[in-house]
């Protein structure tokens, strides 16, 4: 009986050790990675958010006030196991705006996760979700100069979306 019990305990310890190693590998994959063109990360729903994040309908959002290029802002979000925010409804857009206003007391122009791949015609979200909700400003997207491939929010008096060069520096909103 002692041998059987000892075997069961050893087997459980071995399985637990493998599970912890697998979990560590999965966590390490999320740090500092970039999104190759055409690849993405799925949106995750959450019941609680880390400190400094705000919850809206199962997602967590964080305003990052430091101006960065769109690519650097996305990398920063990825380092927090998130992406630049995708927006899926008018209510969600207004919730993100209120997050920004609550911190800055203004509707600051801010990066969200929308982008257009080089040579592509469709707009995509960096988290891989489908872009079905749009809030473009009048006459946008216009791809002025043929190099406006990233989306900024709170543009113009209408506080809508505008396509702009990804090398511009803006604050950003991450989501997970």
In the chain, domain spans: 54-175
Residue 168 has what pLDDT? Answer: 98
Residue 9 has pLDDT above 80, yes or no: no
- Count CB-CB contacts under 10 A for residue 49: 16
Residue 31 has pLDDT above 60, yes or no: no
Query: In which band, very low, low, confident or very high, does the pLDDT at 120 lie, cut at 50, 70 and 90?
Result: confident
Which of the two residues, 90 and 7, has the higher pLDDT score? 90
- Count CB-CB contacts under 10 A for residue 101: 14
Q: What angle do CA 43, 46, 52 make, to 5 degrees?
A: 100
- Count CB-CB contacts under 10 A for residue 42: 8
Nearest to 84 by CA among 151, 162, 156, 137: 151
- The CATH code that applies to domain 54-175 is 3.10.100.10
Contact, 93 vs 100, CB < 8 A? Answer: no
What CA–CA distance (Å, rounded) separates 99 from 8?
52
Tell me what the mean pLDDT of segment 68-97 comes to: 98
3-state helix, strand, coil in the chain (%, to 5): 30, 25, 45
Which of the two residues, 117 and 76, has the higher pLDDT score? 76
Greatest pairwise CA separation for the chain in angstroms: 78
What CA–CA distance (Å, rounded) separates 20 from 94?
40
Residue 159 has pLDDT above 80, yes or no: yes
66 φ, ψ (degrees, to nearest 5): -70, 120
What CA–CA distance (Å, rounded) separates 80 from 33?
11
Contact, 60 vs 46, CB < 8 A? Answer: yes
Segments in the chain forming alpha helices (H): 2-29, 70-79, 90-104
Average pLDDT, the chain: 81
Q: pTM of the entire structure?
A: 0.73
């Amino acid at each position: 009986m002692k041998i059987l019990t000892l075997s069961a305990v050893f087997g459980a310890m071995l399985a637990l050790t493998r599970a912890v190693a697998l979990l560590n590998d999965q966590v390490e994959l999320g740090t500092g990675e970039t999104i190759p063109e055409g690849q993405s990360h799925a949106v995750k729903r959450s019941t609680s958010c880390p400190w400094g994040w705000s919850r809206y309908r199962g997602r967590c959002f964080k305003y990052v006030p430091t101006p960065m290029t769109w690519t650097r802002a996305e990398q920063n979000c990825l380092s927090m196991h998130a992406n630049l925010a995708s927006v899926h409804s008018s209510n969600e857009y207004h919730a993100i705006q209120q997050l920004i206003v609550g911190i800055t007391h203004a509707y600051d122009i801010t990066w969200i996760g929308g982008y257009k791949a080089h040579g592509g015609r469709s707009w995509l979200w960096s988290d891989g979700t489908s872009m079905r909700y749009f809030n473009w400003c009048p006459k946008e997207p216009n791809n002025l100069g043929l190099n406006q491939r990233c989306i900024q929010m709170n543009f113009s008096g209408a506080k809508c979306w505008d396509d702009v060069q990804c090398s511009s520096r803006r604050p950003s909103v991450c989501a997970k």
